[in-house]
Amino acid sequence: MTNFPAAISFKIGIYVEYFVKWLMKYYGNVFDAIGASILWFLLNIEKFLIWLPWWIFVLVIFIMGWRIKKFMAGLLYAALLILIGGFGYWELMMSTLAVVLISVVISVVIGIPLGIFITYNAKIEVFMKPTLDAMQTMPSFVYLIPALLLFGLGKVPAVFATTIYSLPPMIRLTELGVRNVPKEMVEAAHAFGSSKWQTLVKVQLPQALPTIMTGINQTTMMALAMVVISSMIGAKGLGMEVLIAISRIDIARGFESGLSIVILAIIIDRLSQGIANRYKIPEK
């Protein structure tokens, strides 16, 4: 009586497996083309970042920190980047940054239109909200399985898994920003003869921009959170160093690579938050 009855059994995962295998069988060429395109962009961005002289990159971050935050913040960010270079992880940092940038760009391209679409479609919203909840609560390791099946090992599945994991905040905050635009402003735009598209582009999106920028910030942070996990499927970078340190129980290597990820996350977070704050409408 204490054991759960064996007669009550549900097998849902097998249908997901059938669906993924169906995609591989009938749309394998499509995923190969998508993978090749992502890989081309990723490799070119990575090559550019590695080719860029280190001092120019540090100088750009210093200027951004100075202009967005303050002089001392820019100086601190530059010093932290030099610290990562001192650890010997400069190229690995650039590889990680390339994966994060591509993942964030894809998330923005998909997330903003989808967030706007949900705002104007109540039926889709009812379906999408629990789906986004599931995507955010699903263990991140699970995303590696379909990524491996569809794209194999390497950087492309890492981008795919990272994008899926980091996409929900972009959709949610875009929808929230557009929905929270005051109704009076929307009605005034309509009263002056603006179409729905003109109202969206000229009124709602500018008003929602601070919230959308916050969504980009959250998406970037979640993409960085996938760095170590993505290294398990062949994505080189700082996450790979953490994984190697764990397998070898190398405390020094693990601390330096982990600290490098933390530093990169702090710099990106502060800069993106600073940009988002510039678009905020001051309270009266």
DSSP code string of the chain: --SPPTT-----HHHHHHHHHHHHHHHHHHHHHHHHHHHHHHHHHHHHHHHS-HHHHHHHHHHHHHHHT-HHHHHHHHHHHHHHHHHT-HHHHHHHHHHHHHHHHHHHHHHHHHHHHHHH-HHHHHHHHHHHHHHHHS-GGGGHHHHHHHH-SSHHHHHHHHHHHHHHHHHHHHHHHHHTS-HHHHHHHHHTT--HHHHIIIIIHHHHHHHHHHHHHHHHHHHHHTHHHHGGGT--SHHHHHHHHHHHT-HHHHHHHHHHHHHHHHHHHHHHHHHHHHTSPPP-
* Poorest-pLDDT segment among 86-95, 98-107, 178-187: 178-187
Output the pLDDT for position 226.
81
Output the pLDDT for position 81.
92
pLDDT tens digits, one per residue of 177-210:
888 888 888 888 878 777 888 888 888 888 888 8
CA nearest neighbour of 150 among 141, 163, 142, 160: 160
Output the pLDDT for position 63.
92
Average pLDDT for the chain: 84
pLDDT > 90? residue 78: yes
- Residue at 36 is within a domain: yes
pLDDT > 70? residue 28: yes
- Residue at 30 is within a domain: yes
Give me the mean pLDDT over the 82-107 stretch: 90
pLDDT > 70? residue 47: yes
- Residue at 75 is within a domain: no
Output the pLDDT for position 58.
92
pLDDT tens digits, one per residue of 161-174:
888 888 888 998 89
pTM, two decimals, is: 0.85
CA nearest neighbour of 267 among 61, 52, 9: 61
- Residue at 58 is within a domain: no
pLDDT > 60? residue 281: no
- Residue at 159 is within a domain: yes
Output the pLDDT for position 80.
92
Tally of domains in the chain: 1
Per the structure, the complete domain to which residue 180 belongs is given by 13-51+88-278
User: Could you tell me the CATH number of the domain that includes residue 124?
Assistant: 1.10.3720.10
Output the pLDDT for position 272.
81
- Residue at 62 is within a domain: no
Confidence of residue 284 (pLDDT cuts 50, 70, 90): very low
Confidence of residue 279 (pLDDT cuts 50, 70, 90): low
Chain center to CA of 143: 14
* Greatest mean pLDDT range, 78-82, 148-152, 177-181, 186-190: 78-82
- Residue at 61 is within a domain: no
Give me the mean pLDDT over the 137-162 stretch: 80
Output the pLDDT for position 60.
92
Confidence of residue 51 (pLDDT cuts 50, 70, 90): very high
Give me the mean pLDDT over the 80-106 stretch: 90
Output the pLDDT for position 31.
82
Token pair belonging to 213:
């920028």
Give me the mean pLDDT over the 68-89 stretch: 90
State the Rg of the chain over Cα. 22
- Residue at 184 is within a domain: yes
Give me the mean pLDDT over the 249-264 stretch: 89
pLDDT > 90? residue 82: yes
pLDDT > 90? residue 143: no
Give me the mean pLDDT over the 92-121 stretch: 89
